[in-house]
């Protein structure tokens, strides 16, 4: 069945599932920040009690268990922060489609203050390229595709060793120079004082600057600089980018320019993959491209409806997981 037919046949179901649920939006955003708060508190407790106990221990045998416990809590919190920053970017993505709130101004404000700004992004900057990507996926009119096909890092198949070396460079921060051309457009940092290209509205520039001034002030008042740098800024420029790469690489087959079902993939993912690599149903990517008006919390229902169609099950690129021998990423490596 042609893509246009899927959109026509399931238009009524998609319309019903496109209704915005404010409680669902509040719950979705609230869960991410509650998890962030718990990770911060766990790290603070580990630093305050375990690390102090390690320093006050009378001998190495007593100190090492406390020190290892503290390091483990910080490592787990670091991982959780990267995953939650990734999740906030997914919610920002929904805001770019106007799927948080019906009022456009409130939709953008909530998407920025609670999701985009904390991750250093600005929804309007991301929206510019993303809506064009939806309008002409995998064509010269798709800015994302046009950039990625010129980037050696996104050319596949790729030797397995080379790919995982690239991911390790993301995690270590060594890949920041190659990420910067994209981040420069998506983030608000370069445009706070000067925005000749008019990427951001004056109000957005002010909101971004005020938000980060408030964040810096809060950390100065409470003396939480080390926690903020290690648990928020460091993941933002390392682990979060690695998770973003691992998710976006399988989303589209860059070598194919056919229909959405031909070049877009759906990946179910394991529970850990859905927590870190593909949070908040962003892995339901075929359903999203067919019906971008459906908010993230209704995508599983939209996908289930489509899966009842034998033609969709046969034509769609549907995978069980991202990683592992039978994962979609492994299929792209040589």
Per-residue model confidence (pLDDT) at position 6: 86
Q: Are 312 and 138 in contact (CB under 8 A)?
A: no
Q: How confident is the model at residue 195 (pLDDT cuts 50, 70, 90)?
A: low
Give the count of domains, the chain.
1
The neighbour count for residue 14, using CB atoms within 10 Å, is 21
User: Has residue 1 got a pLDDT over 80?
Assistant: no
Q: How many CA atoms lie within 13 A of 130 on its CB side?
A: 21
Whole-model pTM: value is 0.93
Q: Are 186 and 144 in contact (CB under 8 A)?
A: no
Per-residue model confidence (pLDDT) at position 299: 98
| Residue whose C-alpha is closest to residue 120's, from 29, 184, 202 | 184
Q: Which tokens is 214 given?
A: 């408030």
The region of weakest confidence among 27-31, 177-181, 214-218, 226-230 is 177-181
pLDDT tens figures, 118-161: 999 999 888 888 999 999 898 899 888 888 888 899 999 999 99
Per-residue model confidence (pLDDT) at position 60: 84
Q: How confident is the model at residue 62 (pLDDT cuts 50, 70, 90)?
A: confident
Per-residue model confidence (pLDDT) at position 212: 94
User: Has residue 4 got a pLDDT over 60?
Assistant: no
Q: Which tokens is 28 given?
A: 């979705």
Rg (CA), the chain: 21
Q: How confident is the model at residue 66 (pLDDT cuts 50, 70, 90)?
A: confident
The region of weakest confidence among 67-71, 95-99, 161-165 is 67-71
pLDDT tens figures, 246-291: 999 999 988 877 777 888 999 999 999 999 999 999 999 999 999 9
User: Has residue 197 got a pLDDT over 60?
Assistant: no
Rounded average pLDDT over 305-315:
91
d(CA 252, CA 145): 9
pLDDT tens figures, 85-105: 999 999 999 999 999 999 999
Mean per-residue pLDDT of the chain: 91
d(CA 173, CA 293): 35
d(CA 193, CA 176): 22
Rounded average pLDDT over 317-329:
94
Q: Are 117 and 188 in contact (CB under 8 A)?
A: yes
pLDDT > 70: what percent of the chain?
Answer: 96
Q: Are 279 and 90 in contact (CB under 8 A)?
A: yes
DSSP assignment of 136-198? TTTSTT-HHHHHHTT-GGG-SSB-HHHHHHHHHHHHHTTTHHHHHHHHHHHBSGGGSS--TT-
d(CA 191, CA 199): 8
Q: Residue 284: what are its φ and ψ, rounded to 5°?
A: -80, 65
User: Has residue 193 got a pLDDT over 70?
Assistant: no
Q: Which tokens is 303 given?
A: 């996908």
* Exposed/middle/buried for residue 167 (C-beta within 10 Å: 0-12, 13-18, 19+): middle
Higher pLDDT, 128 or 75: 75
- Structural domain range at position 26: 3-331
Residues 6+ positions from 134 with CB-CB distance below 8 Å: 289, 292
d(CA 24, CA 208): 25
């Amino acid at each position: 069945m042609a893509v246009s037919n899927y959109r026509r046949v399931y238009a009524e179901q998609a319309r019903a599932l496109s209704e915005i649920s404010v409680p669902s939006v509040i719950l979705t955003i609230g869960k991410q920040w509650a998890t962030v708060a718990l990770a911060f508190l766990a790290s603070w407790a580990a630093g305050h009690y375990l690390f102090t106990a390690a320093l006050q221990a009378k001998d190495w045998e007593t100190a090492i268990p406390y020190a290892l416990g503290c390091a483990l809590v910080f490592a787990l919190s670091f991982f959780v922060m990267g995953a939650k920053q990734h999740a906030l970017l997914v919610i920002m993505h929904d805001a770019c489609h106007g799927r948080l709130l019906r009022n456009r101004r409130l939709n953008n404000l909530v998407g920025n203050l609670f999701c985009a700004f904390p991750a250093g992004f600005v929804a309007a900057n991301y929206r510019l390229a993303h809506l064009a990507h939806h309008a002409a996926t995998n064509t010269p009119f798709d800015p994302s595709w046009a950039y990625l096909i010129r980037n050696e890092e996104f050319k596949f198949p790729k030797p397995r060793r080379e790919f995982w070396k690239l991911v390790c460079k993301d995690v270590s921060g060594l890949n920041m120079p190659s990420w910067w051309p994209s981040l420069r457009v998506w983030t608000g940092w370069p445009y706070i004082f000067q925005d000749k290209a008019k990427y951001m509205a004056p109000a957005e520039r002010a909101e971004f600057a005020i938000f980060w001034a408030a964040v810096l002030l809060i950390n100065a008042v409470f003396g939480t600089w080390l926690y903020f740098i290690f648990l928020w800024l460091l993941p933002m420029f390392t682990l979060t980018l690695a998770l973003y790469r691992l998710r976006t690489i399988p989303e589209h087959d860059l070598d194919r320019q056919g229909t959405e079902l031909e070049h877009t993939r759906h990946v179910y993912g394991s529970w850990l993959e859905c927590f870190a690599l593909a949070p908040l149903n962003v892995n339901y990517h075929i359903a999203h491209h067919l019906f971008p008006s459906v908010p993230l919390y209704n995508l599983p229902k939209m996908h289930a409806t489509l899966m009842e169609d034998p033609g969709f099950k046969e034509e769609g690129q549907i995978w069980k997981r991202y990683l592992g021998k039978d994962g979609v990423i492994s299929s792209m490596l040589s």
